[in-house]
């Protein structure tokens, strides 16, 4: 079992910055990647960013590339999402998720929510215009 707890969400003005954190606890051996997803009211949950837990390679959805940065601290079992130049359309509940795999999964797994095994409770990010 793995527990994920997100923090850092709040109200911020457009153009501002915010850093989300995700603290993981439990059995993290076998985790292959950590991801951030978001869900806006009335919309489906969408992929935001992911990071390979061992090698640190990163993946982003097009709409956040160049504005968001995902990072991890393996020793502390934490993953962060630094968000710059925030826009009102970034408003959503942001979720942290853990993907476990015994062998390297196909690259598209990083972007697919159903491939992730554990989820946090989410943290609200609201960007005002």
Averaged pLDDT for residues 25-33: 92
Q: Is the pLDDT of residue 2 over 90?
A: yes
What's the pLDDT score for residue 70? 98
**Which H or E run contains 51?**
strand 46-52
Q: Which pLDDT tens digit goes with each residue over 64-107?
A: 999 999 999 999 999 999 999 999 999 999 999 999 998 888 88
List the structure tokens of 117: 């095994």
Averaged pLDDT for residues 3-13: 98
What is d(CA 65, CA 54) in angstroms, rounded to the nearest whole number? 22
What is d(CA 60, CA 26) in angstroms, rounded to the nearest whole number? 26
Q: Mention every residue, 6+ apart, whose C-beta is less than 8 A from residue 129.
A: 14, 88
What's the pLDDT score for residue 18? 98
Concatenating the DSSP letter of every residue in 54-97 gives TT--EEE-GGGTTTEEEEEETTTTEEEEEE-S--GGG-EEEEEE
Q: Is the pLDDT of residue 39 over 90?
A: yes
Averaged pLDDT for residues 57-69: 97
Q: Is the pLDDT of residue 44 over 90?
A: yes
Averaged pLDDT for residues 48-73: 96
User: 64-89 b/e with 16+ CB inside 10 Å = b?
Assistant: beeebbbebeeeebbbbbbbeebeee
């Amino acid at each position: 079992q793995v527990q994920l707890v997100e923090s850092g969400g709040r109200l911020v003005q457009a153009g501002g910055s915010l850093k989300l954190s995700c603290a993981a606890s439990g059995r993290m051996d076998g985790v292959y990647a950590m991801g951030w997803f978001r869900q806006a009211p009335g919309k489906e949950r969408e992929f935001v960013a992911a990071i390979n837990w061992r090698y640190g390679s990163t993946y982003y959805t097009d709409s956040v590339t160049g504005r968001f940065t995902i990072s991890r601290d393996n020793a502390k079992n934490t993953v962060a999402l630094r968000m710059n130049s925030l826009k009102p359309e970034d408003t959503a509940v942001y979720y942290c998720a853990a993907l476990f795999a015994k062998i390297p999964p196909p690259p598209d797994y990083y972007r697919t929510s159903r491939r992730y095994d554990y989820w946090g409770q989410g943290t609200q990010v609201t960007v005002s215009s």
